[in-house]
């Protein structure tokens, strides 16, 4: 019997939508099933930083993936904007990592991961570039290639581009179970009935973790809270990134300030303590922010894995899994989508990345050091 679709994707977050777009662009028949609405999970909450150098210290296979993904945005953003008719507010003028102490300055001056124009700037030069910075900083680590965009708009635009290439997206439909027969996955059971597919891909993020009940997965939630403000006049010129806080000025003047890190927490509230801490760190870094008007606050739940590496591979039963991108899922979405589409389409891909992101714990290797945990 013919399946209902060739590839069925569970979850319309940034991973699911990026994969759907890349698959349907290559001519595959794709259906996405989303229990709520497009980009209603972590992908709605993200600050949208594309921090391939600000988020990694040192080098390694995982960072190579992140760097390649960051580079892909340059061609992918215009392509997706044209197909979707949306503006995703892509800003590509770099990030600054302000530093307060001599020890940090030495660390950054020695840091591996230089390249792509990254350089140390003493305070005077840093303040010339971003006059709103506190005059007490020691200097900044300037990363000209780390950009940013609006994550919700990016995810929605990917979904629209996927639809334009033939993807069917069913919202408000929950996948209750992944179905298998004779040890092979063949579809899903939803609240509206069974859907059969040649390939099933899990992109359900933290909210969908219960569907992955195999023992090889260690997936846990890390809640993050953010707020946004607007300055009475003007805007910041650069995204600012420190261990305590990041400040992300959007094109239209809204400034995102984030984010808390609460491992094991998947609740939806936003606490006074978290917002107070973020605002304090933000004003310390950019004193004029004390006069900014608060616009909104929100939270989201990042999908994190036991060893910090995403799962991008296939189980013994044939289920494809693409999740666990933790705090860099927007950055990684560009290459994750095209890389997984190539794999599902039977194309050869880099073996070392296949091993790194494998579902089988015996095959996964290496680790990742995150720069800091704002």
Ligand X SMILES: Cc1cc2nc3c(=O)[nH]c(=O)nc-3n(C[C@H](O)[C@H](O)[C@H](O)COP(=O)(O)OP(=O)(O)OC[C@H]3O[C@@H](n4cnc5c(N)ncnc54)[C@H](O)[C@@H]3O)c2cc1C
Residues that bind ligand X (CB under 6 A): 10-16, 33-36, 40-43, 45-49, 174-175, 203-208, 211, 224, 226, 258-259, 300, 302-303, 323, 325-331
Q: Which CB sits closer to ligand X, 120 or 156?
A: 156
- At residue 266, the 3 state secondary structure works out as coil
Nearer to ligand X, 232 or 269 (CB): 269
| Nearer to ligand X among residue 303 and residue 313 (C-beta) | 303
The minimum distance between CB 102 and ligand X, in angstroms, equals 29
99 or 331: whose CB is closer to ligand X? 331
Q: Closest distance between ligand X and the C-beta of residue 77, in Å?
A: 14
* Min separation Cβ 210 and ligand X, Å: 8
Q: What are phi and psi of 185, to 5 degrees?
A: -75, 135
Which CB sits closer to ligand X, 120 or 220? 220
Q: At what angle do helices 14-25 and 329-344 cross, to 10 degrees?
A: 40
Q: Are 118 and 108 in contact (CB under 8 A)?
A: no
Question: CB of residue 101 vs ligand X: minimum separation in angstroms?
Answer: 25
Can you tell me the distance from the alpha carbon of 303 to that of 11, in angstroms, rounded to the nearest whole number? 13
* Beta carbon of residue 246, minimum distance to ligand X (angstroms, whole number): 7
Quick check: helix, strand or coil at residue 331?
A: helix
Q: Which residues are within 8 A (CB) of 312 and not within 5 positions of it... i.e. 6 or more apart?
A: 321, 322, 336, 339, 340, 353, 357
CA atoms within 13 A on the CB side of 137: 29
Interatomic CA distance for residues 303 and 286, integer angstroms = 30
Copy the structure tokens of residue 126.
């840093």
Nearer to ligand X, 120 or 299 (CB): 299
Nearer to ligand X, 6 or 261 (CB): 261
Q: Which helix (H) or strand (E) holds 281?
A: helix 272-285
Q: How far is the CB of 62 from ligand X (least distance, A)?
A: 13
**Residue 341 Cβ vs ligand X, minimum distance, rounded to whole Å:** 15
In sequence order, what E strands does the chain have? 5-10, 30-33, 49-50, 95-99, 119-122, 139-143, 147-148, 168-170, 175-181, 184-190, 193-202, 219-230, 239-241, 246-249, 255-258, 262-263, 293-305, 311-314, 320-323
Can you name the residues that pair with 30 across neighbouring β-strands?
A: 7
Of residues 187 and 300, the one with the C-beta less far from ligand X: 300
- With respect to ligand X, which residue has the nearer C-beta, 81 or 225? 225
Q: Which residues pair with 290 in a beta bridge?
A: none
CA-to-CA separations, 328 to 33, 140, 277, in angstroms, rounded:
23, 22, 22
Token readout for 226 is 């953010």
Shortest spacing between CB 261 and ligand X, in angstroms:
9
CB of residue 292 to ligand X, shortest distance in Å: 19
């Amino acid at each position: 019997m013919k399946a209902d679709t060739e590839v069925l994707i569970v979850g319309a977050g940034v991973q699911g939508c990026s994969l759907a777009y890349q698959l349907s662009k290559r001519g595959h028949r794709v259906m996405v099933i989303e229990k709520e609405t497009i980009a209603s999970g972590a992908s709605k909450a993200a600050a949208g930083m594309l921090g391939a150098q600000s988020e990694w210290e040192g080098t390694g296979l995982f960072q190579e993936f992140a760097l390649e993904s960051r580079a892909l945005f340059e061609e992918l953003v215009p392509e997706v904007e044209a197909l979707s008719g949306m503006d995703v507010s892509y800003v590509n003028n770099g990030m600054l990592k302000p530093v307060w102490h001599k020890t940090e300055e030495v660390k950054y001056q020695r840091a591996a991961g230089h390249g792509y124009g990254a350089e140390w700037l003493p305070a005077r030069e840093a303040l010339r570039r971003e006059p709103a910075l506190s005059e007490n900083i020691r200097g900044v680590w300037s990363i000209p290639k780390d950009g940013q965009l609006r994550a919700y708009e990016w995810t929605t635009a990917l979904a629209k581009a996927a639809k334009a290439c033939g993807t069917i997206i069913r919202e408000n439909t929950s996948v209750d179970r992944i179905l298998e027969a004779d040890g092979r996955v063949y579809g899903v059971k939803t609240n509206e009935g069974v859907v059969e597919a040649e390939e099933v891909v899990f992109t359900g993020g933290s909210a969908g973790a219960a569907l992955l009940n195999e023992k090889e997965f260690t997936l846990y939630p890390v809640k993050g809270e953010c707020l946004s403000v607007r300055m009475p006049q003007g805007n910041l010129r650069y995204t600012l990134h420190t261990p305590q806080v990041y400040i992300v000025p959007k094109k239209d003047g809204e400034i995102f300030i984030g984010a808390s890190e609460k491992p094991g927490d998947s609740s939806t509230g936003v606490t006074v303590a978290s917002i107070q801490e973020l605002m304090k760190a933000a004003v310390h870094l950019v004193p004029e922010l004390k006069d900014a008007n608060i616009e909104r606050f929100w939270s989201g739940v990042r999908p994190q894995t036991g060893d910090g590496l995403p799962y991008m591979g296939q189980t013994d039963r044939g289920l494809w899994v693409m999740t666990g991108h933790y705090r860099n899922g927007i950055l990684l979405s560009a290459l994750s989508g095209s890389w997984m589409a190539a794999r599902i389409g039977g194309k050869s891909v880099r073996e070392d990345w296949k091993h790194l992101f494998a579902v089988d714990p015996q095959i996964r290797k290496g680790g990742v050091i995150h720069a800091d945990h704002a």
